Structure 1
């Protein structure tokens, strides 16, 4: 059964347009609440609601609260808190669910709702389908004596700060290190600087003045140029960039060099393998650079690819019994430290790895160079793109044998197929991508 509203990471869209309207979000809260009650009728369920710094968060928080309490569910409100912070507190407080109001790295005009199940894990497909089915039912408010209550909880930020710090080895600290920390004017603005400062670093803040409308605006993990300039200006050792909800990490070294998720995962894998603590291998996605895959394999580290999306990386990690994986976008999963991707904790794992290997990011990442990639988006006009591309795809794969690969991926939101080719030479990647794209276009 296909999902109507849930994407790979909850429900997301432009505020004021379906489905991100107060009416729908209230119904979503009610539907999720009804599912929680149906799964455990022995006591009244409780759910934690957090949000990032978007101005629309106030409106959607109120709508969710109304929906959950109408279904007979108690609500705890944290105010602004990173997505991984909600996952942690859902587990720590032994609650039935956690909800985050955030559109992650999107601009402030967008917002979304994503859920964590009991234990701080991603909501599985079966529960999402149950919620979607309940959305088709009428909203019937519980009798007054059965309504849920809502209250704000104190100390959520402080508890999460301590949790992040606890993921860093006790024998290490960050004393003598100068960091620029870019919080994207998002949910980590009052968290990340404190974590790094309390571990001993000198911290220069960037993107820590949210006004409800500047989240991810030319700052953060999706726009590292601002961080690069700040690192060079302040002669910092490293720059740390998070996204609006704090689950992505991009880093910059003292030379202004940017390091994406692939490179940071490689650094952590190298250190864990060196000390015999890499459980299994590493999970990436179909978009993970082939250069990283080959570098890992040269060191005897297994590598597996999942579909794009951190939920699919997580699923494959669980299936293999592994702990480390992620995406080039900066989602890094260290499942021995947290149940979900966490930008702050991932950064601390990188710093611990650098100390252990006694090298900087530049030295470690010299082990491999990313293969050049060529991406072409082909707009579809009803043609069967798989059939149209078959011959050109076969020819490209023959030419790329041992030197690269092809990924054809249809968009989930628009009539577009993405043609991605990577190869050891840019000209080869461009030639193969163009050939496949032209074959698809010609079939229109």
Structure 2
């Protein structure tokens, strides 16, 4: 019997690393998995070899965005918007022809259209959705996209996955039925180890990594760094990752005399191997976020056994930490003075630092694996009535539209990972 596929949809790869890891884990459980997304961009990692990668969305828009400048980018964005509608129409039509056993949306781009697609798809198969954050797109949305459109799409699905209690409570408050909501964790991402750690001196090195967006609180970190003058050990900060907004003010601030010798901004796409080297080279990973429910960068950072410092928001506020560790590990958002005090304490006090490392090590040991999450996801597929008998009967999927061969080395994507 030909296996019916699970279609995991992340049209713009906004959660690319999550989609890669989940798709691979589902395939390892025996599911036939098709990841439906956009064409890969130069420098992005190849998808897992045990799935089918299907670049259905934005064939022209991605090409146009790569070369468009100035006013031309607005035209390219319009092309992508039109292609989103076209891609959804193709998705619905192909679902009726090929009858996948489930369609699983990992991200929405234009939720008013996505909700219509969900209604059409449900005539063919169950539809489930992962909600990565209770503030859609971290509040940075096109003016034509309403927040309510996202929640209307969530309500339309047969099942909804939430990563944190914060997300679950928000979904309930916005009218998603309690029996539709299933809580799963966000396991660590696997990064390739290719480079040696960076050479370093005696400085206490602080790292902020991932997609650089307004909610990440880089401005707060820079102001805190300016105030965190340690008499025991110099504090140096590195911010690495592609900026998704105008970062000229950040660059200018980092070049001012009080920060010039103590900060380093590398605002470009970073491969997972480069991120791995950064994580192995630092002493502290910092998350001074303004808002967040869950973060793929957080569990990935836990893997490296470094100290962690977070803002008291979303899923970070839920972390079960001892009071003596929480005092210096969790700070109010938008508060550079509190962040500076924690940076200075962790740099100067070995006992506070080691207690922090040990507490977060225990958190890492308690994390679910991708296999655990995949098993839970498949269980939910069955609960919503997906006919998985033909979809989980053997190994990985095969298709003429697959973009990688079985001989391609497994690699992961990081650029879009990083909430």
Provide the TM-score with structure 2 as the length reference. 0.31
Greater helix fraction, Structure 1 or Structure 2: 2
Q: Relative contact order, CA 8 A, sep 6+: which one is greater?
A: 2
Provide the TM-score with structure 1 as the length reference. 0.30
Greater strand fraction, Structure 1 or Structure 2: 1
